[in-house]
Amino acid sequence: MTKATTIILTDTPVSEGWQADNPVQIFKNEIHICLKEGQELSLRDIQKAGRKIEGLGIDVAKLSGDLWTEESQWAFAMGFTCVGKLTNVEFTGAQAQKLMDKLAIFAWSRDLTNQTPSQLYPLKLAELAADYIKSQAPEHVSVEVISGEALEQQGWTGIYNVGKGSINPPCLMVLDYNPTGDAQAPVAASLVGKGITFDSGGYSLKASAGMFDMKCDMGGAAVVAGALALAINQGLDKRVKLFLCCAENMVSSHAYKLGDILTYKNGLTVEVANTDAEGRIVLADGLLAAADTQCELIINAATLTGAAMMATGGDYTALFGLDEQLMAQAKTQAIEANEPVWQLPLERWHQDKCPSVFADTANSRTQKGGGAGGASNAAGFLARFVPNDGKGWLHMDLAAAYNGSANSLWAAGGTGQGIATIAALLKA
C-alpha cells in the first residue's frame, strides 16, 4: 500500500535554518507550505508548491490543517497531479468528497488527452466519452454515432473530408443528456468538441517537432465531455447535447487536398487553403448540428490555433464571441474556477478575413499559421456556422489544455483547463 505524506498549509514556518525562507519546508515526516507573516500565498503559488512537492517523489499527498480552503486545495491538486498520479490527493474538510469527485473527472479527461493515437482513434474516442458520461447518469443519456460514408451521405462534409484519408473512419458522436424524462423538452445548451485524435497536418504536413504532441488535438472533445460529466455530477437538471467531431487528419491517396471545395449543410462553400486548419472544418459540422437544436447556449472548445498559443503563452484559454454578455459571464466563471482566460478580438468582419476566389470563403490563408490575427480569423470562420448572429455562442481556443513538458505549474500532458468553467456555465 502506498503511504500518504501529510501536507500542511501553515502561517508558522517550521524551520529557522536553511529552509526558513522557502515556501515548502520539510519537518520530520511532514511537508509544510508556509505562508509569510501577514501575507497569503496566491493560488498560483500554492499550485507551484504542489508541483515542487510532487518533484520530491511523493506518491500521495494528504492535505491537513485548518487553513486549507476549497480553492487552495484544488490549486495544490492541479500542481501535484501528473501522469500516474492523477487522483493521488487526499482532501480535507467539508468539501473533501466534492473535490475528490471533481478530481476524478479531471483525471479521466486528462488521461484521455494523454492517450496515444494508436490507442485513441476516432470511434474509440466517441465510445469512451459516451461510456463515461453514461456512467454519471445512465438513465438519462442516449447516444448516436454517425461514421464513415454515412457522414457524407448525411451531409457532414467537414468531418468526412478531414477524416477520409485515414484507415480509421471519422465520426460525429451525438450525446443527449435529458434528465427531464420528456422527449420533447427543449435543449438548453449544446457543447461541441474538436476530436482530432491525430493531426499530421494532412498535405500541409507538419514538421516532426510540431507533430509530436498532436495526440492532444482531441483536447477540445476531452474538455467538453469532462465538463458535461462534471455538471451532471454536480446536479445538472437541464437537457444538454454534446457533439464530438472526431477524425484523424492523415496523408493518403484518399485524403482531402488543397484547393478542394466543401459544401456544408447551410449551403456555404469553403475552399481548402490549408489542410492543417482542419479543426475549424470539423467544428463547422458540429456547430450546424448544435444550431439545429435551437438551444440558447452553444459552447465549442478546441485546441484550434498555434496563434492562440503565441498570443497567450499557453497560460490562458483564449475566449472568442460576439455576445458580450455571455463573454462577461464566461470570464466571471473562469475566475471563480481559477482557470485563466483572455478575450481575443472577434468582430463580424473577421468572417471575411480568409477570402476565396472560388468559394464563399477559404478555411484559412496560405501564410504560415494563417497569417496575422490567425486565432481571430479562425473564430471568424466558425462564426459563419452559428445562429442568431452569434448570440449565445462561445468559442474557447484551448491554448492551456496541454503541455508537452512540465513547467513550474503543470506536469507534462493534459491539464483539463476549461472543464470547470464550462460546467459552471451549463449550470448557470
Is residue 113 within 8 A of residue 245, CB to CB? The reply is: no
State phi, psi for 227 to the nearest 5 degrees: -65, -40
At residue 369, what are phi and psi to the nearest 5 degrees?
70, 10
Angle at 378 between CA 376 and CA 379, to 5 degrees: 65
Q: Which residues pair with 191 in a beta bridge?
A: 242, 299
Please state, in angstroms and rounded to a whole number, the distance separating the CA atoms of residues 337 and 332. Answer: 9
For residues 198 and 214, the answer to whether their CB atoms sit within 8 Å is yes
Q: What are phi and psi of 182, to 5 degrees?
A: -110, 115
Q: How does DSSP classify residue 141? A: E
Catalytic (active site) residue 206: yes
Q: Cα separation of 199 and 187, whole Å? A: 32
With CA atoms as reference, report the closest residue to 142 among 285, 242, 245.
242
Q: What distance in Å separates the CA atoms of residue 144 and residue 172, rounded to the nearest whole number?
A: 8
What is the C-alpha separation between 226 and 113, in angstroms, rounded? 11
Catalytic one of 206, 265, 331, 391:
206
Which of 280, 353, 365, 384 is catalytic? The answer is 280
Q: How far apart are CA 341 and CA 400, in angstroms?
A: 9
Catalytic residue numbers, as ranges: 206, 280
